[in-house]
Amino acid sequence: MVDEYRTKIKKRKIAEYLKFYPKSVREVAKNARVV
């Protein structure tokens, strides 16, 4: 349950990050895969 909650938060943060930095989409995707 905790892991799922954390993944949801990460996805939300990534989504917000992409809104402000659409140029770094690839970098965020790589980081998301690694983490």
pLDDT in tens, the chain (35 residues): 688 998 998 989 888 877 776 666 677 777 777 65
The half-sphere exposure of 6 on its side-chain side, counting CA atoms within 13 A, is 5
pTM: 0.39
pLDDT score of 22: 62
Find out whether 24 and 17 touch, Cβ atoms under 8 Å.
Answer: yes
pLDDT score of 15: 81
For residue 33, give both structure tokens.
């895969």
DSSP string computed for 1-35: -HHHHHHHHHHHHHHHHHHH-GGGHHHHHHHHHH-
Sign for the pseudo-dihedral over CA of 10, 12, 8, 27:
negative
